[in-house]
Copies of this chain bind each other. A is one copy, B any other.
Amino acid sequence: MAYSGEPILAEDLLFRPEHSLIDQSLHSRLGATTTNGDGFGIGWYGEGAEPAVFKSIEPAWNDSNLREIAGQLRTPLFFAHVRASTGTAVQRSNCHPFRHGRWLWMHNGALRGFHETRRDLMTAIDPALFPDLEGSTDSETLFFLALTFGLTDDPFDAVARAVGLVEDVGRAHGVDHPVQMTVATTDGESTWIFRYSTEGQSRSLFFSTEISRLRDLHPEVPVLHQLGGETRFVVSEPLRELPGAWNEVMESSAGVVRPGRDELRAFQPIPPT
């Protein structure tokens, strides 16, 4: 889940909504697994230029510290993630969001065949970035490949090249559908989102309708009057049922959410040359 907008208390994002992320961690309706109990993480922008992250290997629904911090943390840009491991170890360094400098990254899905392709993918990472790898997941590797290909300059291009490489390496190892992903990444101001899978059947991803339009549609819903005009949510599953509130990101597309003008476009991997 990614929030951007007026500074808001994290507990209003994590614990208040009807079908909140914490509920989803116990009973996902749309995810590949129904329980996301293999750790969680939050990332946010506050003091200083770089974001902070709080991650734990406990299930999110049990973590007392998460509740305490969520009640104290006010931020205009908030990432939250619950993890269902696809095979790599349940340890803090494998929890999302991942951070590099000013950037945060989170990924749902999997790089299939990663056990076999991991070495080739890791050696494709810029040697200057390599020492900062902390965990053992496919998701962090994909992040570092995107950084290698210029994420901080042109996110659309960099992710397209990273995905293209993963597909290329995957096929060389005989993997049928190497990439399954929804991704959100941010520099603290804009949030880029991606929905793509090699087989064209990606996990769900939604973004919220502009608050002004929602207020017109549902003048009786109090929370809409508390949220600022630039509020935008990107989620794997709608937080609450509200007709017109949630727009599915189309298959094979990418977008950027930012104050002012959002943008959605087609996404196509760029194979290595």
Task: Give the contacts of A51-95 with B (CB-CB under 8 A).
Answer: 52-59, 61-62, 64-65, 68-69, 71-74, 85, 89-93
Q: Is there contact, CB below 8 Å, between A58 and B55?
A: no
Question: Which of A47, A62, A72 has most chain B Cβ within 10 Å?
Answer: A72
Is A116 part of the contact surface with B, judged by Cβ < 8 Å?
yes
Provide the residues of chain B in CB contact with A92, threshold 8 Å. 64, 89, 91
Query: Once the chains are docked, how many angstroms separate the CA of A93 from the CA of B59?
Result: 18
Closest to A11 in B: B47
Interchain nearest-CB distance for A79 vs B (Å): 13
Chain B CB within 8 A of A130 CB: yes
Q: Choose among A38, A61, A64, A136 the residue with the greatest number of B CB atoms under 10 Å from its CB.
A: A64
Which one of B26, B48, B53, B55 contacts A35 once the chains associate, using CB atoms below 8 Å? B26
Q: How far is the CA of A52 from the CA of B182 in the complex (A)?
A: 34
Report the interface size for chain A: residues with CB under 8 A from the other chain: 48
The residues of B that contact A261 with a CB separation of less than 8 Å are none
Inter-chain contact A52/B69, CB cutoff 8 Å:
yes
Name A74's closest neighbour in chain B (CB-CB): B47
The smallest C-beta distance from A8 to any residue of chain B, in angstroms, reads 11
**Interface residue A112 (Cβ < 8 Å from any Cβ of B):** no
Q: Would A38 and B52 be within 8 Å (CB), given that A74-B47, A91-B93, A130-B119 are in contact?
A: no
Contact flags A24-60 to B (C-beta < 8 A → 1, else 0): 0011000000110110000010111000111111110
CB of A135 closer than 8 Å to a CB of B: yes
Q: A35-B37, A115-B131 are in contact. List 7 more A-B contacts (CB 8 A).
A: A37-B37, A38-B59, A44-B72, A54-B69, A58-B90, A59-B59, A72-B73
Complex A-B, nearest 5 residue pairs according to Cβ-Cβ distance, in ascending order: A91-B91, A119-B130, A46-B72, A52-B68, A115-B131
Please list the residues of chain A having a beta carbon within 8 angstroms of any beta carbon in chain B.
Answer: 9, 26-27, 34-35, 37-38, 44, 46-48, 52-59, 61-62, 64-65, 68-69, 71-74, 85, 89-93, 115-116, 118-119, 122-123, 127, 130-131, 133-136
A-B contact pairs, 15 of them (CB 8 A): A35-B37, A38-B62, A46-B72, A52-B72, A58-B90, A62-B90, A69-B69, A89-B91, A89-B93, A91-B92, A93-B136, A116-B131, A119-B131, A122-B122, A134-B136
